[in-house]
Structures are given as structure tokens and as C-alpha cells.
Structure 1
Amino acid sequence: MSFLGIDLGTGSLKVAIVDENGGQQAAASVAYALETPHAGWAEMSVQTWWRALGEAAARLPDGLRREVKAIGLSGQMHGVVLIDEAGEAVRPAMLWPDTRARALLDEWPEPQPNPVAPGMAGPLLRWIVRHEPESARRTRWALQPKDWLRVALGGAVATDPSDTCATALADPDGVWDAALLQRLDIPSEWFAPLGPSYAAAGVLSQHAAQALGLRAGIVLATGAADTPCAALGSGLARDGDALLTTGTGGQIVVLAEHEPAMVRGLHRYRAASDHWYRMAAMQNVGIALERARAWLSYEWADAYNEAFGDQTGHASGLTADAAPTFLPYLTGERTPWLNPAARGGWLGLALDHTRGAMMRAAFEGVAFSLRAGLDAIRASGVTVTTLKLAGGGSVDARWRQLLADALNAELHAVDCPNAAPRGAAILAGIASGHWHGHDLAGLAPGATRVASPQGDAALAGRYARFLDLYGRVETWFDAAASDDEKR
């Protein structure tokens, strides 16, 4: 007996099969690229996702696929997929890095239970209503990415609180806000019924089973958003457990038994279990490092080697005061600034700076942005000295040490390379009746301490300068955004 977890991510689709004890038996992934037909847009054809799922499934052993008893789903948060009455996509999916709806955020009345970002389903759907009336006319359902995939697999039209509470269209518990939908002129009938992440929501169709090499009729769990799935798969089960995930974006999650207080810049969302979590959400982690690497014409191995070549402090051997600073906010930023107009770049470059110095500054800038998010959590009254570590962007030992120093926290790498699909597979096991809520703590994977803070005073000084630089240029970003909107 085994369970399949599918994680529909921003840059790749991952699948993992776990056995009846929660151990991973096999995994595979297929990468794809965001589509940007216009500046500030972030889209994806759902056919790209479907092809990636077929390719990933084909890489799993045939025998293991035939033993799968249930499927669970994890998906990137915030984006939206519009489908018609026949289940066909009306247009490409719109995803969380999308900033086209930035000018519409003022239409949300204050206070909101969570920060509102332009790439959330609410602003994106408001943009559709205003700018693509034909798409709106054809729409029957507005689904979260993982919910679209479940429907494509033959499952029910449904959703869960971990996704709905992050749409900017629901209350903190995830219940759709009918009054807000009416105020924004977004049809309430577009939205799927709500159920637990671990509930059964249909079964695999014959067509999908043939495409994926699975048995038709197996249970499909409702599933959850990728961050709470990663938290579940990483073993967060008790109040105060904390996780750092680094992928395209970055999240710092702290589990809470009860609903956390509202704090500006932080999110408080429902978990995949019956818990809550605080979250600092940073948009520019892997996406910023990848762009910096491309700008500097590095292969990844060379980027790491030259950025971390000088273990005494800085790749170029420069003093802390002479090192350049990199703001990574290429797609705006959420925690702690709540500024979709924020932008990035290097400042402090001199003629004797090398590519290595610039790449090191990019790594530090991303680490500093994560620290700013963690500082917001700490300021809310939560003590965080240890973080579990997950995500494909956090495997290099030198990068881990920089993160530990920048965050001033011990890092424990989860002994599970595919936390989000593993969490989805656990939801499948619950939906099929194999596991129950009281089993979750016992399913936690092992974790190994991989880095401890070393009290790097020079790095602390560069972090202070990073914060000062952002504060000095923030009004410039806002002015530039206003000029763009006028044009």
C-alpha cells in the first residue's frame, strides 16, 4: 500500500510515493518556465502542467504506481485558473508573481485579515472582471492551481481553507466573504465549496489513470496549498514548530494551535491540519538568485564557488564597508514591506569589484530579505531560535551557513527532499482512512543540524546597511510606479 503526493509548484511539478509508514519510495520532478507575455505578468498554460504531470509520473516505477491507494495534492498559493462549464481553461493560469493588479489593491477595505498582494486570486479576478469581460463571461469556476489539477484528474470541484484564506476573498477561517465579493463585483458562484484538506474529494478517472499509469477509482484528497503541505511533510505538528522553505520565493512558517493575532506584514493562515500558522512570505529567493546568476553569465557551480570563494568574509576579500549591496526585490515584496512596487539591483559597486563579489552580494541580499521577514515574526512575540529547512534552493553547505548567520538561528535540514509532495501524500493517506490526525507527530521525518550562527559581526553590519538602503530608496520605487501607471 502506498500514497502519491503531487506538488504543482511555480517552477516545477514534483511527485512522490510514500509507503504506509510515511517513508519515501520514489520521487520525480519536471521543470517548466513562467510565461511573461507582458511586463509584470506571470502566467502558465494548464497544458504545460498536465504534460509535466504525465512526464513525472512516467519516471516513477510501474510497480509502485500500481500500488497507489490514494492521491493528495499540493499547489502554489494565490494564483487562479478559470475554467468553463466543460472544464476547459478559459485562459492561461495567472500566478502569484503577477503584478498586473497592483493598481487595484486600494479597492480592498481596511482592515483586512491578511496582507493583500497583487498576485493573489482576489486582485487577479478583479482585474479579469475589469479588463477581460469575455473571459469573465465564459468562466464557470475560478480555481486554485491544485484544485484545477484535482478536477482534471476526475475529482470534485472543491477547495480547502489553507488555499481560500490566502485569496484575499475569504475570512481568516477560509470561508468565502460574500459581502466582499459583491463589493468587488466578482461572481460568488465562481467559487468552489469548502472542505478539509484531508477530506476525500472524488476519485481518479479512467482517462487520467491511463495517462498516469495508475488504477482508476482511487481516492483523491482535497489537498492543500504548498506551504502548509511542506510544513506537514516536514513534520511541523506542535505549537511553535518553525520551518524555512526556499524555492522560487521563500516562506518562514511557525505553527500555532490557535488563531494568531493580526500583525501588519505577516500572514496568519490555516494549516493543512486543523492548526494555524504565522507566515512571513518573501517573493524573491530563487527567482532573484537565478536572475542574478543569468545576468552575471554563471553556471551554478561557478556562481557558488566564486561567491563563497573567500571563507573569511567576502568572495572578493573586501572589507564589509567596501562590499556591494544587492536588493533582491525584482517582483516587489510582501513581508515585511508590503510593497509591490519595490525593485532590486546592486549599489556600492566599484571598478575593482568582481563578478564573485556581485554574486555574493546577491546571496546576501536574499538572506537579508529572509531575515527581515523573520524579524517581523520575532517582533510579533514569537521566539525562533531553530528552523527546519526545506526546499530545493537550500542544499549547498556554504549557502546554509550564510542563512544561519544572517537569520541568527540554527538550521536543521529535514531528511525529506520532497516535503510538499510528502505532505500531500500524507493527506491522501488520511483521506483514504489509513492515517488520522493523531498520527501526524509520529510521521515527522528526521532532521539533521546543518548550520549554527557564528556571530558574524561584519555580516550583521551589512544587514543593517541593507535595511538602511531599502528605507532610503522606498519612496523612489513608489514614484516610479506612479509614473508607469500614468503612462
Structure 2
Amino acid sequence: MPRTPSPAVLGVDIGTSSSKGVLVGPDGTLLRSAVREHTVDRPAPGHVEMDAGIWWDEFVSLARELTAYAEDEAGARVVAVGLSGMGPCVLLTDEAGTPLRPAILYGVDTRSGPQIARLERELGDEEIRRRCGSGLSGQAAGPKIAWVADEEPALFARARRLYMPSSWLVRGLTGAYVLDHHSASQCTPLYDTVAQDWYAPWAEAVAPGVELPPLRWSGEAAGTVTAEAARLTGLPAGIPVTTGTIDAWAEALSVGAHGTGDLMLMYGTTMFLVHTVPRLLRAPSLWSTVGALPGTRSLAGGMATSGAVTGWLRELFGSPDYAQLLRLAEESGPGAGGLLMLPYLAGERTPVTDPDARGVIAGLTLSHTRGDLYRAALEGTAFGVRHNIEALEAAGGGIGRVVAVGGGTRGGLWTRIVSDVTGREQEVRATSIGASYGGALLAAQLVGDASVDAWNPVAERVVPDPDATARYDELYALYRELYPASAGVVHALARWQHR
């Protein structure tokens, strides 16, 4: 007698450097994972784009691999799909849903400076902050829509819909046109964070002619898999699909960091911080958003690079494996032999908010090694985390628990450096694969009961070393001095690079 397949859920995340998929059992067991690597396009200085066709093609490839494994090897059947993706991104399509140009990515794309200045004049900077919770920055989607309207007017005249990676996958799977509230709240100034809805007067001013999507919460069902999507992906037709959200918020859900006072640190291509707060908080150098779940609010920050810097160094060093570089960095010891790095190789998002910031390595001598440079990169990102934490607390955030997630938590050294630099304990859960696992959790909650504590218990607590923290206090003071001391020079160099 044939065995009845056990239920499983699929979670997929579209990231900056790869798309990741996980097949997860009903108790949270990771049955299989898969990755598809990709690159972004940089057609001009400050421009970072991606062809949305890659998002769907990689989803189809991941879904086919993981559903085949479920059926052929695991004796399972996928019963729901959860989605997430980098963001906020701007993908504009025509009325038929055909993309008009590559998607403009989140805060790593810094093209919208002139549009930010214009919208602040026209709408009022203080009024934007009052209504939207945050000011305009390179992270906000609204000025990027305005950039397309200003710079590509003939193309923009045909724009009718706005998508992000997760909502683009929802469209392909279900045919639905929806967006989650959290992603919408990063579309400043189009979304009213107090009313938690699109603000029609500003939406019409910034995105005339664009029909903004109906809004749902991240864990709500956007629809069900269509027969055509089932044929393409191998997924069963009729199973529910979550509305989805931006990757960092899905990562926070994956490790249970969504209670008031929780702070999630996402160790990825960029370093991202999501702090769940009890009420709307506004800060000039941070992003105030609604949370991924109803009734929650967040204060967030993000560095423009973190893992991207370590990857860059790995390539410069001739591509040794990361384990070797971590061993060399461990040997270097705290302070990296007297090196100090500003990790602003792609500008900086928060709390510096300077798209023309640049990387600086101070203190180099002929005696410094690859291990020293790699350690300085890890320590530089840790100093950036501390800077963001101080900004979060200055804004009124009360940080209780710190939870680490993402690929950078593997190996242990980076998380230990961050704890030593910040003086804060970090919690690491058993599964730290990230946003795709958070998407799977939301999918499981669509079709049954799934608790993050049962799915993903705490595996480790990274406790700071007081002696190391005291040593890092001195270096952190120098780190804070280095940016203003070097800003004039690096801004001049940034202008030279833009020529």
C-alpha cells in the first residue's frame, strides 16, 4: 500500500547575490536547501539593477529541484509556499505585466539624490517624516520611481504597476497583484505609516498613472498556485502562497526576533538591523517602518556592505576559502595589528547616510598580513553595528535581546567580534539559513500551527569578553573620528569616480 506523503513547505528568498530555497518539514526540520547564484548590474556609478526575469527563472529552478526531492526522496508533498526578497526594489511594468526596465535595487543604489532633494522641497521634509515615519534616503523606493519619471519619461508613461521580488513571484505563482504592508512602508513617501495605507495625494504626485497594489500582511495568503504555475514549477496546483516581505524581516521571523525589544542582526552581503519597538519612533538617520506582522513596528538600520567586503578581499587574495581567512584573522587578534577600516566601499546607509562615503584603511604598514586586513574588515563592520545600535537607542529603542542570523554567523569569529565590540550577548538559533526559512515558517503557519521556538531553538549564546570590549572601546573612538576626518578627501574622490 503506497505511503501517504508527509506535508512540507517551500520557502524561497531572492537576495542580492543569490536566490535560496528550503524544503522544510512540519516540525521545522530542514529537509533540503538549494542556491542559485547571480550578480547585479552596475550600469553607471551608483546604479545597481537586476533583470526581474532572473527572479522568476531562479524560483522555477529552485522549486522544481526541491519539489522533485520532496516527492522522490523525502516522501513529502509541498502544501504551501512562503516568499521573501531584497528590498525595497522598484520594478515597473506595463498594463500587461511586462517589465519596462531592470529593477532598481534598494539602498545600495544611490542614484536618486536629486529626486530626494526635490521631493523634500515640494512635500516638506518634516511633513514626510511625520506622515511616513522616516525621511527620504537612498533606501526609499519613492525617489527611485521619481528618477524613472524624470530620466526616462517615455518609458514611465507606460508604467502601470509596481513590484518587488516577493510580489513578482506572487504574480507568477498566483496571478495576484498584492504587496505586504512592510514593503509598502519602505516606499516613502507613498505610504502613510500612521494610517497604514497608501497616501493617495503623494502617490499621485510621485507615481502618476501607477496603480499601487492592494496591501496585505506578510503571513496572509496572496492566492493559490495556478495550473500554469504548477506546470512550470512542479508545485501542486491550488496550494496557498504567502504575500511575503522584504528579506531582513523574514530573517527576523526565522529566529523569533519580532518581540518588543528584540534586535536582529543579519550577517549577509550587507549588515541589516531590525529592532522591534512598542510604538512609532522617528529618527533622522534610521528607517521607521511597520513590521512584518500586524500590530508591530520596527526601527531599522542597514550598512551598505559587510559580507560584500569580505568577498571583495577574498577575491583580491586569490580566492582562498573563508575558513582559511578566518583562521588568519583569528591569529591577527583584536585590533588587527593596528589597522582600522571604514567599510563604506559602496557608500553608507545608516547612521552615516552618505552615498559618497568610501572605504578607508588606516594604519597600513609593510608588516601587515592578509589576516590583519581580513580581521580589520570584520572589526570595521562590528564598529558599524555598534554605531547603529547607539543610534537605535538614542531614538528611544530599548534593546533587550540580540539575535544573530545569516551566513556570516558560521565560523563563530565574526559574531564573537561583534559581541566584543558592542558588549552585547547574541543569541544564535539552530537554523541560521535566513529569510528563506522565515518564509517557510510563514507558509507553515498558513496551513497549521508552527512555533518558531519549536522549529528553531537557541543553539548558542555569544557572550562578550570584557577585556576585549575594553580594548575595542579605544578603537571604536578612533573609528568614529576617522569618517569626519577623511570625509573631505573621500568625497572629492567620489566626485572623481563619477566623472
TM-score strictly above 0.5: yes
TM-score w.r.t. length of structure 2:
0.88
For the 8 Å contact 1:155–1:220, the answer to whether it is kept is no
Equivalent residues in 2 for 1:375-390 (5 A)? 375-384=390-399, 386-390=401-405
Q: 2:46 is aligned with what amino acid?
A: G
| Correspondence 1:466 to 2:486 | no
For residues 305 and 325 of structure 1, do their structure 2 counterparts lie closer, same or farther at Cα, with a shift above 3 Å needed? same
Q: 2:88 is aligned with what amino acid?
A: H
User: What is the CA-CA distance between 1:192 and the residue it aligns to?
Assistant: 0.8
Residues 99-142 of structure 1: per-residue CA shift (max 9 Å, x gap): 12123221233122214322432121111001112321232211
For the 8 Å contact 2:273–2:300, the answer to whether it is kept is yes
User: What is the CA-CA distance between 1:481 and the residue it aligns to?
Assistant: 5.2
For the 8 Å contact 2:342–2:359, the answer to whether it is kept is yes
For residues 255 and 444 of structure 1, do their structure 2 counterparts lie closer, same or farther at Cα, with a shift above 3 Å needed? farther
Corresponding position of 1:6: 12
Indicate the SS of the match to 1:409: coil
User: What is the CA-CA distance between 1:150 and the residue it aligns to?
Assistant: 0.9
Equivalent residues in 2 for 1:144-183 (5 A)? 144-168=164-188, 169-173=190-194, 174-183=196-205
For the 8 Å contact 1:181–1:188, the answer to whether it is kept is no
For residues 298 and 441 of structure 1, do their structure 2 counterparts lie closer, same or farther at Cα, with a shift above 3 Å needed? closer
| Correspondence 1:40 to 2:60 | no
For 2:216, which of 165, 177, 195 is the aligned residue? 195
For the 8 Å contact 1:198–1:273, the answer to whether it is kept is yes
> Which is worse superposed, 376-385 or 128-137?
376-385
For the 8 Å contact 2:64–2:235, the answer to whether it is kept is no
For 1:400, which of 389, 409, 415 is the aligned residue? 415
For the 8 Å contact 2:441–2:452, the answer to whether it is kept is no
Indicate the SS of the match to 1:329: coil
Indicate the SS of the match to 2:332: coil
Corresponding position of 1:50: 56
For residues 87 and 191 of structure 1, do their structure 2 counterparts lie closer, same or farther at Cα, with a shift above 3 Å needed? same
For the 8 Å contact 1:11–1:248, the answer to whether it is kept is yes
Residues 351-373 of structure 1: per-residue CA shift (max 9 Å, x gap): 22223222221111111111111
| Correspondence 1:282 to 2:303 | yes
For residues 237 and 23 of structure 1, do their structure 2 counterparts lie closer, same or farther at Cα, with a shift above 3 Å needed? farther
Q: How far apart, in 1, do the equivalents of 2:445 and 2:55 lie?
A: 25
For 1:271, which of 291, 311, 322 is the aligned residue? 291
Q: How far apart, in 1, do the equivalents of 2:210 and 2:95 lie?
A: 12
User: What is the CA-CA distance between 1:296 and the residue it aligns to?
Assistant: 3.7
Equivalent residues in 2 for 1:28-177 (5 A)? 28-60=34-66, 61-63=69-71, 67-96=77-106, 97-106=108-117, 107-108=119-120, 109-111=124-126, 112=129, 113-168=133-188, 169-173=190-194, 174-177=196-199
For residues 142 and 237 of structure 1, do their structure 2 counterparts lie closer, same or farther at Cα, with a shift above 3 Å needed? closer
Q: 1:67 is aligned with what amino acid?
A: R
Q: How far apart, in 1, do the equivalents of 2:271 and 2:168 lie?
A: 24
> Which is worse superposed, 209-218 or 287-296?
287-296
For 1:305, which of 308, 314, 327 is the aligned residue? 327
| Correspondence 1:216 to 2:237 | yes
User: What is the CA-CA distance between 1:480 and the residue it aligns to?
Assistant: 5.2
Q: How far apart, in 1, do the equivalents of 2:260 and 2:210 lie?
A: 36
| Correspondence 1:259 to 2:286 | no
Corresponding position of 1:453: 464
Q: How far apart, in 2, do the equivalents of 1:282 and 1:366 lie?
A: 8
User: What is the CA-CA distance between 1:410 and the residue it aligns to?
Assistant: 0.9
Q: How far apart, in 1, do the equivalents of 2:38 and 2:465 lie?
A: 37
Corresponding position of 1:415: 430
For residues 139 and 98 of structure 1, do their structure 2 counterparts lie closer, same or farther at Cα, with a shift above 3 Å needed? same
Q: 1:305 is aligned with what amino acid?
A: R
Corresponding position of 2:343: 328
Q: How far apart, in 2, do the equivalents of 1:303 and 1:354 lie?
A: 11
**How many residues are aligned here?**
473
Equivalent residues in 2 for 1:428-439 (5 A)? 428-432=443-447, 434-435=448-449
Q: 2:215 is aligned with what amino acid?
A: L
Q: How far apart, in 2, do the equivalents of 1:276 and 1:381 lie?
A: 13
For the 8 Å contact 1:331–1:340, the answer to whether it is kept is yes
User: What is the CA-CA distance between 1:12 and the residue it aligns to?
Assistant: 1.2
Q: 2:256 is aligned with what amino acid?
A: G
For residues 205 and 259 of structure 1, do their structure 2 counterparts lie closer, same or farther at Cα, with a shift above 3 Å needed? same
For residues 145 and 200 of structure 1, do their structure 2 counterparts lie closer, same or farther at Cα, with a shift above 3 Å needed? same
Q: How far apart, in 2, do the equivalents of 1:95 and 1:78 lie?
A: 7
Q: How far apart, in 2, do the equivalents of 1:385 and 1:481 lie?
A: 39
Q: 1:26 is aligned with what amino acid?
A: R
Q: 1:24 is aligned with what amino acid?
A: L
For the 8 Å contact 2:18–2:37, the answer to whether it is kept is yes
| Correspondence 1:236 to 2:257 | yes
Q: How far apart, in 2, do the equivalents of 1:326 and 1:366 lie?
A: 8
Q: How far apart, in 2, do the equivalents of 1:336 and 1:7 lie?
A: 26
Q: 2:464 is aligned with what amino acid?
A: P
Give the fraction of aligned pairs with identical amino acids, expressed as a percent: 30
Q: How far apart, in 2, do the equivalents of 1:116 and 1:295 lie?
A: 35
For residues 221 and 20 of structure 1, do their structure 2 counterparts lie closer, same or farther at Cα, with a shift above 3 Å needed? same
> Which is worse superposed, 243-252 or 381-390?
381-390
User: What is the CA-CA distance between 1:314 and the residue it aligns to?
Assistant: 4.7
For the 8 Å contact 2:287–2:301, the answer to whether it is kept is yes
Corresponding position of 1:357: 372
Residues 11-48 of structure 1: per-residue CA shift (max 9 Å, x gap): 11112233334443332221111111222211111222
Indicate the SS of the match to 1:110: helix
TM-score w.r.t. length of structure 1:
0.90
Indicate the SS of the match to 1:215: coil
Q: 1:357 is aligned with what amino acid?
A: D
For the 8 Å contact 1:158–1:222, the answer to whether it is kept is yes
Q: How far apart, in 2, do the equivalents of 1:479 and 1:331 lie?
A: 15
> Which is worse superposed, 462-471 or 237-246?
237-246
For residues 178 and 160 of structure 1, do their structure 2 counterparts lie closer, same or farther at Cα, with a shift above 3 Å needed? same
Q: How far apart, in 1, do the equivalents of 2:494 and 2:208 lie?
A: 30
> Which is worse superposed, 372-381 or 59-68?
59-68
Q: How far apart, in 1, do the equivalents of 2:455 and 2:276 lie?
A: 14
